[in-house]
Structure 1
């Protein structure tokens, strides 16, 4: 038990170094770290400005928090720094309590995250319903995009309101002040980013767009707003770590914001770690990840930075660039630090419209429009949770949106569970259940694995299915999922099944769903898992599934099982 406990709270950096670290691994990590740093440079500046801070605060966060998240976190590939999820909260905290108030809130959030990790609350993310997560991330995306309209169009608006509807009223009131040169710069930067993503996705589109826009503004002396004109006194290098002025009254004022920051940091970090596991075949340590995130937020606040968490896009870039260990994330922070130390003056030439174009793309990525549209095809209950969370995020408050969304999802789940209860007054035993005893594996052919899922498959247990696949280590040729005892499948469960089939297909395994009831089948149709297709088959009962598995193994007998990837 002690060994298990120690392993659960061991940073992945230590684990990977104990396994042995070669020169080839360092080269791969260095290339990946440089690639991510190129992406993080303009993005960190843009996110800081959108949050109501100066661009150097974003770079400080990328350096300090990025280093600590990779050094102390529980994920092999996680890359941390400022993210779009914090923009709304940080902007409001700075507006209400000043920058010192934000630093205190970030310090408190760091302590909350460390306490959550130590209390083993890392698994709590699986109880956040999928429609709630999609709803508030899409809402944040809309808010971020709306906040950049002024800089993209060059509008003459002195004080842009913070609330969504008044903000757009101000924009429409100033529509006659649109500046053609600013629009041309912003549209050009946006076109470069979109074009490179389609034609040359490996190139750093954000950085190239910023460089081209800056050169055009400097060469043609275009009268557009730049970082230098808006922030003329940007300091070079890292500041000396220090504590803000803390008082009991100030702590009380910012404590609700601190909990919101901690919640967002924990949710996004663990979601990013799950994405990384799916891409790289690894398995993160959720509680240690929370502790690493907490220490990173403490460090960022001490250096005057912003709240930080795991960044899904940068983590995915890290994996695609060939990263092997957390050293890649550490080197990303080192490369950003070199820019902060020796090239801060170059920030002054960056047009604000180009940064607005970057944030438009960030918002588009956060929106997850395909997933949003897929959830709109779900039953009315899931659709209601999604739209309500989205609407409250945009129009009211992020904390209210999450609280109401989770509460509504829980109430609707209890209502759906009540509908699945049946009362049988006959007194007869279910002989069909008796026949499906513990000997379900006795007649399985070699290369076939079987699992029986019992009870409602909802957002609270959906992640267990993917964890089961990763724990197997060696992929079989066929996986039978017996679902006759599953009366209910919600949107999160359907999404988990879809991801399970995709991961099994990557590992060379075919999935057979046996005996699915009408409600789960209806949900599966909504995610287009409704017929025999590549990687998945359906069987009416277990006997039919066994026969189908035998046929499939006969067709693939020459193959050898493929590894699912490291699980350490």
Structure 2
């Protein structure tokens, strides 16, 4: 089966990416400047934490930041090194060495490009809302907790767990020295809140950092600062590789690509939810942008990159609405390295912690959490489990667990809302009221209707219910309201049919979709001859399988009871007048003429024409009379004149002759009559 490729025009940058920039460029530049200042210590820190060094972190933030902004599918996303990626990289570096990191970035980038071309970006849309919100809430907690060591000017703990590491930092804090950095944190948060309240158009984060830096410098507060920056970037080069090395790194590269895809798409989705005045993310193009960004980062000796939720949130809060802000943030890092290194070196780390703590608090949206809490118990549990797992364990584990839990809850709900029940005719259908053609069929044919799904969670109940008919000669299974049937459902259908067959009970299944019918036939559950498209056809098919007393009329006649007439012995082009049977003329096809011997000497023969009895929309022609061409074939007998469904009507032919014709006493649907 071929994989549908994403149209290239949806993946290529266009001028539409920068619509509205003419009026927005000042705010975009300011937002980019703010994000650049916030991203600087993060880039340096994640580079050091990964073991690749501060320069690798800067390269990743600059190269990946620009490429992802230009080629990506989000107008708001800011990309670069992240804590989650660092956690994934550490064991890989320990096993394969530091020199493999650029190659891993390139390999993961190629995989992301393939994901984009094959349209896998849309998979993120399948992640339930409680999972996304739980993930976001948990990330907010983690980001805030990660800032505690910076806010206290203390050394980060050695534990790989964020919570344990932070607790270790708190227990080793010199509280006499922590007063000044905590004051800077409080000052930054206060300035941001005041500026956002009184002057919402100003870049609150940047102003808060400037104020805090000025206060710390003027008062000579004993606080840790960013410090000296690297003076340059490495030249691009293709890392050393071999076939055996590529095969060894395939699995970790796939894990990195999966993390980059998941974190980037969720980050973009979170950003989309923060604003209403920016285009929505193109998921496939975002994967393409992240792939190109990782390839570029690897060529420059950088780390694998992803969309960064914290920096993206700062970008949104600072007013960024186009790609220019993300591009500007990367250029700011270049300028900082080249020209402003000494100035930025004086920025207190606790000031950056204050910015990120406030940003993280806004990611912990208690209003949305309250809305989820007022929904179902399953959604509440999914939200809490995802958030808790994000905080305690890992981002990827949290999302996978949340999706798995949501899937289990959905299956439980599907099973609870699905049913198999006995149905008693007559019933209303789109073609009218449908009933068995004789009373005896009510006692000999059992009808069951499936609602919802027939899948593994409901298979045993289906088998027990359908096989419970004690005295039936036939079973009709109505599946027109069955929306889902998996392999277990098809196997349950096969087992039920075989169980009934051992009891000499015929089975007809009605209303399967083409895909469901193909599955049922392929698994041997039924044959195509056991399937009917609707209930009347299913009844008609069942009547051909079982013996029912009193069946006297031919199917070719009774299937279209409105086409009838009495003809004299010449059998050629006689116009007849008949009684119109309302409600049974809706585009029904005609049938081949059948001559029926009528046991009444005053009546010649009763015929049904293959040609349509009336043109759709002009059914009244039946009342005015139709011209029939009669042939002589397919003779069949009527056993009794006084059939329960029909009565004799005296008609006058156009030739002046008079005769009897049999018409239905009540309107009946195709399939309600016997053969």
Q: State if a TM-score over 0.5 links the two structures.
A: yes
Q: In the TM superposition, what whole-angstrom CA distance separates every residue of 1:476-522 from its partner, at most 9, and x where no partner exists? A: xxxxxxxxx9x9xxxxxxxxxxxxxxxxxxxxxxxxxxxxxxxxxxx
Q: Cα deviations across residues 373-423 of structure 1 (Å, max 9, x unaligned)?
A: 322332121111111222222222222222222111111101101111133
Alpha-carbon distance, 1:37 to partner: 1.3
Report whether the alignment pairs 1:174 with 2:169: no
The 1:101–1:428 alpha-carbon spacing in structure 2 relative to 1, beyond 3 Å, is farther
Helix, strand or coil: the match of 1:271?
helix
Q: TM-score, normalised by structure 1?
A: 0.64
Looking at structure 2, the residues matched to 211 and 260 of structure 1 have their Cα atoms a distance apart, in angstroms, of 38
**CA distance, structure 2, for counterparts of residue 132 and residue 69 of structure 1:** 25
Deviates more, 1:108-117 or 1:94-103: 94-103
The unaligned stretches of length 5 or more in structure 1 are 436-453, 457-484, 488-568
1:74 aligned counterpart, secondary structure? coil
The aligned counterpart of 2:259 is: 261
| Structure 1 residues 314 and 210: alpha-carbon distance in aligned structure 2, compared to 1, 3 A threshold | closer
- The 5-angstrom pairing of residues 165-244 of structure 1 reads 165-175=163-173, 177-179=175-177, 180-228=179-227, 232=228, 234-243=229-238
Structure 1 position 349, deviation (Å): 0.6
Provide the C-alpha distance between the structure 1 equivalents of 2:412 and 2:362, rounded to a whole number of angstroms: 34
Q: How far apart, in 2, do the equivalents of 1:382 and 1:222 lie?
A: 48
Q: How does 1:509-520 map to 2 (within 5 A)?
A: none
Partner of 1:251: 249
**Which aligned pairs between 1:287-366 and structure 2 lie closer than 5 A?**
287-306=284-303, 307-309=305-307, 312-313=312-313, 316=316, 320=319, 323=322, 326=323, 329-330=326-327, 333-366=330-363
Structure exhibiting the larger radius of gyration computed from Cα positions: 2
Compared with structure 1, are the counterparts of its residues 96 and 6 closer, same or farther at alpha carbon in structure 2 (3 Å cutoff)?
closer
Q: Is the 8 A contact 1:44 1:59 kept in 2?
A: no
Evaluate the alpha carbon distance shift between residue 103 and residue 290 of structure 1 in structure 2; reply closer, same or farther with a 3 A threshold. same
Higher strand share: 2
2:46 paired residue among 36, 51, 61: 51
Change (3 A) 1:174 1:126: same
2:645 maps to none
Query: How do 1:547-558 and structure 2 match up within 5 A?
Result: none
Deviations 1:418-447 (A, max 9, x none): 111133422458759889xxxxxxxxxxxx
User: 8 Å contact 1:48–1:55 — kept in the other structure?
Assistant: yes
Q: Cα 1:361–1:57, aligned 2, differ >3 Å: closer, same or farther?
A: farther
Root mean square deviation, CA, Å = 3.8
2:108 alignment counterpart: 109
- On the 8 A contact 2:32/2:329 being kept in 1, the answer is yes
Q: Could you tell me which residue of structure 2 aligns to residue 394 of structure 1?
A: 391
Match of 1:534 in 2: none
Q: Tell me the alpha carbon deviations over residues 185-206 of structure 1, each in whole angstroms, 9 at most, x when there is no partner.
A: 2222222223222222222222
Report the counterpart of residue 70 of structure 2 in structure 1.
71
The yes-or-no answer on 1:87 pairing with 2:86 is no
**3-state SS of paired residue (1:258):** helix
Equivalent positions of 1:475-486 (< 5 A) are none
Measure, in 1, the Cα distance between the counterparts of 2:186 and 2:40.
Answer: 19
SS for the counterpart of 1:425 is strand
Q: Which moved more, 1:47-56 or 1:215-224?
A: 47-56
Aligned CA distance change for structure 1 residues 414 and 113 (closer, same or farther; 3 Å): same
> 1:37–1:336: 8 Å Cα contact kept in structure 2?
no
Deviation at 1:87, TM superposition (A): 1.7
Counterpart check, 1:132 vs 2:127: no
Confirm or deny: 8 A CA contact 2:41 2:226 kept in the other structure. no
Contact 2:79 2:307 in 1 (8 A): yes
Kindly state the Cα deviation for residue 125 of structure 1 after the two structures are TM-superposed.
1.0
Moved more, 307-316 or 66-75: 307-316
1:298: Cα distance to partner? 1.8
Summarize the Cα distance change of 1:276–1:369 in structure 2 as closer, same or farther, 3 Å threshold.
Answer: closer
- On the 8 A contact 2:237/2:300 being kept in 1, the answer is yes
Structure with the bigger RCO (C-alpha within 8 Å, sep 6+) is 1
Give 2:374's match in structure 1, choosing from 373, 377, 384.
Answer: 377
Q: Secondary structure at the match of 1:226?
A: coil
Q: Does the CA-based 8 Å contact 1:46-1:55 persist in structure 2?
A: no
Instruction: Note the alpha carbon deviations across 1:1-30, whole angstroms, 9 max, x for none.
Output: xxx97855444632538xxx99xx553353
**Contact kept? 1:44, 1:55, Cα under 8 Å:** no
Aligned residues of 2:6 and 2:118 also touching (Cα < 8 A): no
Q: Distance in 2 between matches of 1:16 and 1:158?
A: 44
- Please give the alpha-carbon distance, in whole angstroms, between the structure 2 residues aligned to 1:192 and 1:95: 41
For the Cα contact (< 8 Å) 1:13–1:70, is it kept in 2? no
Where 1:225 maps in the other structure, the secondary structure is coil
In 1: Cα distance, 2:365 partner to 2:100 partner:
32
CA contact (8 A) 1:125 1:270 kept: no
Match of 1:546 in 2: none
CA contact under 8 A between 2:112 and 2:287: conserved in structure 1?
Answer: yes
Q: Counterpart of 2:277 in 1: which secondary structure?
A: helix
Which residue in 1 is equivalent to 2:118? 119
Superposition deviation, residue 44 in structure 1: 0.7
From the superposition, tell whether residues 130 and 10 of structure 1 become closer, same or farther in structure 2 (CA, over 3 Å). closer
Alignment partner of 1:97 is 2:96:
no
